[in-house]
Every structure is written in C-alpha cells, then in structure tokens.
Chain A
Amino acid sequence: GAVVSQHPSRVICKSGTSVKIECRSLDFQATTMFWYRQFPKQSLMLMATSNEGSKATYEQGVEKDKFLINHASLTLSTLTVTSAHPEDSSFYICSARDPSRGEAFFGQGTRLTVV
C-alpha cells in the first residue's frame, strides 16, 4: 500500500485563488519531504525541500512567497500555491524517504488546473 499519501489528486481553481496540497507519510516519520513539479512530457523538477520545524529550502527560480511550504509535523507537509495563475497548472508530486530504508516514496501526485 501507499506509504506517502497526497491529497487532493486533482484540483481546478480560478486564477488568483490559493490551493493547498497535503503530503502525508503514513507509516514513518519524515523530517524531510520534497516537492516536485512536472509539466507535460517533461521530467520531475525539484521545487523545494521541506524541513520539519524549520524553513523550506527552495530551488533556484522557485518563488518562496508563491509556493508556501509548511512542515509542521513529522508526517505532514503542505504546499500552498498562492495567487494561482494558469501557468502554475502542472502535476505536483511530493516525496519522502523512510529513514530505515534506502528508497524514497512518492505521493500519487496532484493535477492542478488553473482556469
């Protein structure tokens, strides 16, 4: 079964509104989670690293004031896309690694469409 759960799987919002995406590790604690974005026919691009209890680390070119990340507990990280624009429409994916295992686990992804 899924060990990283992402919600919602699909969301449509109007331009200018904000959307929150949740990422939960189900059977392990994750001090670090990762947020990726994937445009059609492209690979996953890392947006930011979410650190429990501290500020997220953003990749170059990713606006921290637009993509708000909160990692308030060891099992939950949230990504809020603020003032969404049509160009923010994309597939957003979170990931976390179980410290006791070598592999990373990924959420199911969230398809965001901004109209």
Chain B
Amino acid sequence: DAKTTQPPSMDCAEGRAANLPCNHSTISGNEYVYWYRQIHSQGPQYIIHGLKNNETNEMASLIITEDRKSSTLILPHATLRDTAVYYCIVRVAEMDTGRRALTFGSGTRLQVQP
C-alpha cells in the first residue's frame, strides 16, 4: 500500500468547511484513496473512497488531484461531532475477498471549535 502523509492536527470553526489534505505521491494506478475517522473511544468509521474522480456522499466530498498524488477530504459544514482523528489510507480495493487489513498511519486530529 502506498505511503500517505497527513498533517498531525488541524482546527476548524464550527459551521465552516474542514479541508483535510493527504499526500500519496507513490500511489499506483490500481490503488484507491480511502478515508476513515475515529471519534474518541470508538471504532473507526468509513467516510468515503475514490479512485480518480471526485466523490461526494452524505458525509463528505473527496477531491483527488489529476495526477492522483494528493487528495483532500472536505467536510462542508463541520460540527462539534466531527471532532475526530481522520485517516487517509491508500490501497487496492478488494471487492471479492477483503483478505487484507487496513493499515493506519497517524492521521490528522481535527478539532472543531465552537
């Protein structure tokens, strides 16, 4: 799996957009970008994933650069409940067996301020 680099921490004002960057300059053509978050004392929660096109769901948007070497997770209107550690993970999707575990880096600790 390609290595990812994320800032260790970020602050965001409540109601504003939170933009979390991730660098993955060694990403391969068949590797997807996944984002998970972990709220304190809970298991990680899936947010979104993408290959090369931008993706949006009810939780967030994922913007992947054209060269795929970096991406940004956007929480359009951050709330206090979005305070968590956000993990960017790059790996090959395994739709059939899922036999390989996700590898977590240090992530970005997002603090949403009131």
Contact = CB atoms under 8 A, between A and B. Distances in A.
Partners in one complex: yes
Give the dominant DSSP class at A's interface.
Answer: strand
Interface in B70-114: 87, 93-99, 101-107
Contacts of B96: 99
Interface residues of B, number: 26
A105 to B, nearest CB: 7
Nearest to B51: A102
B62 to A, nearest CB: 13
Nearest to A10: B41
Nearest to A98: B98
**Is the interface on chain A under 10, 10 to 19, 20 to 34, or 35 or more residues?**
20 to 34
B54 interface: no
Contact of A46 (B34, B43, B101, B107): B101
Nearest to A4: B43
Interface of B: 32, 34, 36, 38, 41-46, 49, 87, 93-99, 101-107
Given A36-B104, A46-B103, A108-B42, 14 more contacts: A43-B106, A44-B104, A45-B104, A46-B101, A91-B41, A93-B43, A95-B43, A95-B102, A99-B95, A102-B94, A103-B34, A104-B98, A107-B43, A109-B42
